[in-house]
Amino acid sequence: MSASNAQVDHARIAAAKQGSWRPLPLISNRNLRWGLNLAALTYIVLVYYSVDINWARVAQGMDRAINFVGSFFTPDFVTRGGEIAVGLRESLTMTFVATVIGIALAIPVGLGAARNIAPRPVYFFCRTIIALSRTFQEIIIAILFVAMFGFGPLAGVFTLAFATIGFMAKLLAEDIEDAQNEPLEAIRATGAGWLQWINYAVQPQVMPRLIGLSLYRLDINFRESAVIGIVGAGGIGATLNTSINRYDYDTSAAVLLIIIGIVLMSEYLSGYVRKWTA
């Protein structure tokens, strides 16, 4: 391997002296490079033959597509204003409550899933919770929770809180595993109890990132709350889904613009809060 690489290097340098230079390839191993290209080509052929697309139907839909894009210039906030307001209020309250509950539950799970501070059995238990919560999309969890708790925003709160646990606990655990060991030893050497140890050695090291991640998750939960309404878990998703199914694109555009606006606002806000807490 290394011998052939050296040969290639010599060939490159010789070619460069002749005046023809080429940049180094991204993947240095030649067989791997050609193997990947070949695999990609085979895959494209396979997909081409296994996906069948009804182009006539696609052409038919173009009128609607143009209508939809056009409706972004004439959004209608008023006709369904009442439904939009109710949906939006439900989405925002769901987002906030679910994020608070989710983070409160994610902290113990995250502590348990950090390899450097949790005993083995606890570690595996917490990692299982994280894997389960991260694998299944919010919408699948929402279907199950709607079946258990009935329609309404409470099922949505449980869904978003459950999804928040996996996300926050995983990142928190990784952050704790990256924490510096010296403060942990120092506080432990003073004879501190377990809670004191967590509070004075671990918490100060992970707090800034935890705040940043919480704000990010608030943002994600709001976006997700626009989706889980489709299966009856409350929020603005129900309004949006109804408007799309009625081809009432002006109202859909209004809802989408509101969502984009709120996400943009929260992005600016979280930038400020991060600067302020860091």
Partner 1 sequence: MTAPVWQRRTPARQYAIWLGWFLGVMLFLLCFKIISDNTIWEFLTDAHVQAASLIGRMVPPDWSITGSLMLPLWDTINIATVGTALGVLIAFPLAFLAARNTTPHPALRAFALGIIVSSRSINALIWAILLVTMIGPGLLAGMIAIALRSIGFVGKLLYEAIEEIQPTPVEAITSTGAGRMQVLAFSVLPQIMPAFAGITVYRWDINIRESTTLGLVGAGGIGLQMNAAINNLAWGQVATVFVLIFGTVIVSEWVSAKVRHAVI
- Residues engaged in binding partner 1 (CB under 8 A): 23, 26, 43, 47, 50-51, 53-54, 57-58, 60-62, 64-65, 68, 89-90, 92-94, 96-97, 100, 131, 135-137, 139-140, 143-144, 147-154, 157, 223-224, 226-227, 230-231, 234, 237, 240-241, 244-245, 247, 252, 256, 259-260, 263-264, 267
Q: How far is the CB of 92 from partner 1 (least distance, A)?
A: 8
Q: Which residue's CB is nearer to partner 1, number 17 or number 119?
A: 17
- Contacts of residue 178, Cβ cutoff 8 Å, sequence gap at least 6: none
Q: Which residue's CB is nearer to partner 1, number 117 or number 129?
A: 129
Residue in this structure with the two tokens 């655990």, named with its chain if needed: 173
Could you tell me how far CA 123 lies from the centroid of its own chain?
A: 23
| Torsion over CA: 246, 247, 249, 255 (sign) | positive
User: Residue 102 and residue 161: Cα distance in Å, rounded?
Assistant: 4
Q: Which residue's CB is nearer to partner 1, number 117 or number 234?
A: 234
Q: How far is the CB of 147 from partner 1 (least distance, A)?
A: 6
- Contacts of residue 61, Cβ cutoff 8 Å, sequence gap at least 6: none
Q: How far is the CB of 223 from partner 1 (least distance, A)?
A: 6
- Name the residue type at position 41: L
Q: How far is the CB of 242 from partner 1 (least distance, A)?
A: 11
- Name the residue type at position 92: L
Residue in this structure with the two tokens 């109890």, named with its chain if needed: 193
Torsion angle, alpha carbons of 53, 54, 60, 66, to 10 = -10
Q: How far is the CB of 106 from partner 1 (least distance, A)?
A: 16
Closest by CA to 230, choosing from 137, 161, 148, is: 137
Q: Which residue's CB is nearer to partner 1, number 117 or number 159?
A: 159
Q: Which residue's CB is nearer to partner 1, number 7 or number 137?
A: 137
User: Residue 86 and residue 99: Cα distance in Å, rounded?
Assistant: 20
Q: How far is the CB of 241 from partner 1 (least distance, A)?
A: 6
User: Residue 223 and residue 229: Cα distance in Å, rounded?
Assistant: 11
Q: Which residue's CB is nearer to partner 1, number 80 or number 117?
A: 80
User: Residue 239 and residue 276: Cα distance in Å, rounded?
Assistant: 36
Helix, strand counts (H, E) of the chain: 12, 0
Q: Which residue's CB is nearer to partner 1, number 117 or number 138?
A: 138
Closest by CA to 139, choosing from 111, 125, 160, is: 160
Q: Which residue's CB is nearer to partner 1, number 140 or number 207?
A: 140
